[in-house]
Structure 1
Amino acid sequence: MTALPAVLSPALAPREAIVDALYRCVNGLDSKDQTLFESAFTNDATFDLNGNVMEGLPAISTCIYDMIAKMDTTHFVTNVRVHIESETKASVTATALAQHYHGGQGLEPDAANFLAGSLYWGDLVKDESDGGLWKCTSWRMKTSWGIGDRGVFAN
């Protein structure tokens, strides 16, 4: 199964387009589509994962995409709130659940897995040079709880 393209048709309303940046990120991870994942971020974005800060899209891709996309995952984003500051600047908060398994083991009944609940905060800008896509300039993720085997992240 392939992910939908970054730019959807017809064009999304501003609030939907802002939220779509979150969806592009997590759908890119779950579908193993690096182009879709990267479309959620500016080149100079920062990603704060529980205090571990990555600077720039190459670092974010290496530390987040490369680690998570090799796994069997599903990310659910909900309770999204959007604050539109201007025609080109916004912020967003959300709650997420993410299930993680070693790659190829998601359907095995007794496979090691880790379920996490997290809070997301993001600052976004509208990138007119890329089809008007909203992109995160900063993403902060705080994992509130987790259950299961954290070892699934080790490989």
Structure 2
Amino acid sequence: MEAAQSHNKSKHLAIPPEDFTAIVDALYRFGAGQDLRDRLLFESAFSRNATLDFTAVAKKLGVTILVFEGRQVIAETILSTTSTLDTTHTITNPRVIRYDGEHAKLFALIEAQHLPRGDHSRHLLLKNILDVELSKADGTWVIDRMKFDMHGAPAIQTCCFKRKDHER
């Protein structure tokens, strides 16, 4: 993945602490918006024309999807897909690898747990590498492009993909 390869090339960037915090907060809004089922918080993480690319992870899970384009499409797709699930997202190791005061590129890890609401005996646990491009819009950092790549193998206990031998 580009971010994983390029993060070693960056030197210490002079990023004001308030910008670093605000850049990372866009990722926190993305995760917390899902976990809290808060559409406004979730949407606040993205620019109007943002893209979210989950295609590599989906392919590893045996599913073919398109890149989600536009804040409304991203919100509708993600939030409707997770509407029957309890989720927890943990975002860690954020590293800004490019910054000019108006645009930034970020590398981070995200772990996402998905449990069917009402049946936590089944789950899907993913750990992904994030490659994120952000910009400052009206004083707030927002995600313009977010790309996921799976790190390791998913831990699946028949959460989201029912099989005949696990149907209840």
Give the match for residue 148 of structure 2: 141
Pairing of 1:72-91 with structure 2 (within 5 A): 72-91=86-105
Asked if residue 102 in structure 1 is aligned to residue 112 in structure 2, the reply is no
Counterparts of 1:77 and 1:21, CA distance in 2:
11
CA shift at 1:83, angstroms? 3.0
Per the TM alignment, residue 81 of structure 1 is displaced from its structure 2 partner at its CA by 0.4
Match of 1:126 among 110, 117, 136: 136
- Between 24-33 and 61-70, the greater mean CA deviation after superposition: 61-70
Stretch deviating more after TM superposition (117-126 or 140-149): 140-149
Provide the C-alpha distance between the structure 1 equivalents of 2:108 and 2:132, rounded to a whole number of angstroms.
9
Matches within 5 A, 1:16-31: 16-31=21-36
Which residue identity is paired with 1:81?
R
Question: How far apart in 1 are the matches of 2:131 and 2:83?
Answer: 21
- 1:33-66 CA-to-partner distances (Å, cap 9, x unmatched) read 0100000000100000034311111211122122
Report the counterpart of residue 50 of structure 2 in structure 1. Answer: 45
**Partner SS for 2:154:** strand
Between 133-142 and 49-58, the greater mean CA deviation after superposition: 49-58
* Aligned-pair CA distance for 1:97: 1.1
Aligned position for 1:117: 127
Greater alpha carbon shift after TM alignment, 14-23 vs 94-103:
94-103
> What are the within-5 Å matches in structure 2 for residues 54-73 of structure 1?
54-73=68-87
Bigger radius of gyration, 1 or 2? 2
**1:74 Cα shift?**
0.6
- On the 8 A contact 1:50/1:143 being kept in 2, the answer is no
Write 1 or 2 for the structure with the bigger share of strand.
Answer: 1
Which segments of 5 or more consecutive residues in structure 2 lack a partner in the other structure?
1-16, 57-65, 163-168
After superposition, the CA RMSD in angstroms is 1.7
Question: Structure 1 regions of 5+ residues with no counterpart?
Answer: 1-11
- How many residues are aligned here? 136
Q: Which runs of 4+ in 1 moved over 6 A?
A: none
Structure 1 position 84, deviation (Å): 4.5
Q: Secondary structure at the match of 1:148?
A: strand
Q: CA deviation at 1:153?
A: 5.8
Task: Calculate percent identity across the aligned residue pairs.
Answer: 33
Cα displacement (A) at 1:86: 1.4
Contact 1:32/1:70 (8 A) holds in 2? no
- Shift of residue 151 of structure 1? 4.3
